[in-house]
Amino acid sequence: MVRRVILSSRVADSLLEMARLAYPLEMLALLRGEKRGDGVYVEELLFAPLSKHSSSSVYFRLDLMPMDFTIVGLAHSHPSGIPKPSLDDLQNFIGRVMLILIPPFSSYRDIYAFNSDGERLRVVVEG
């Protein structure tokens, strides 16, 4: 069972910067990494192909998603500041984890992690 998501400081900083630059629109990124023990290690970010962004949602075509078994989840921002997955988020869950970033996108405390049941996971930033 996954209990935590481990991000390098480089990945965490990149996610926060992407969210700041996209604001007031939502940002979306695919998470590439691997499961080790009770954690999911996120090693890289990928841009979702042909994603469409708005202030309340972001969509991308699943049929254009790369066939990549190292994709462990999705990260997206909630410009509204609500740090919980919506029903739509959970229905479109991909991989093992989902990260949600909330304004002001200035510290690692603005990154939240969840499993496919919407249960909160611990976020660990290393390095």
- Per the annotation, the verdict on 26 as an active-site residue is yes
Other C-beta atoms within 10 Å of 8: how many?
Answer: 16
**What is the distance between the alpha carbons of residues 100 and 76, in angstroms, rounded to a whole number?**
5
Catalytic residue among 17, 26, 34, 44: 26
* Phi and psi, residue 96, nearest 5°: -100, -25
Task: Give the residue numbers annotated as catalytic, written as ranges.
Answer: 26
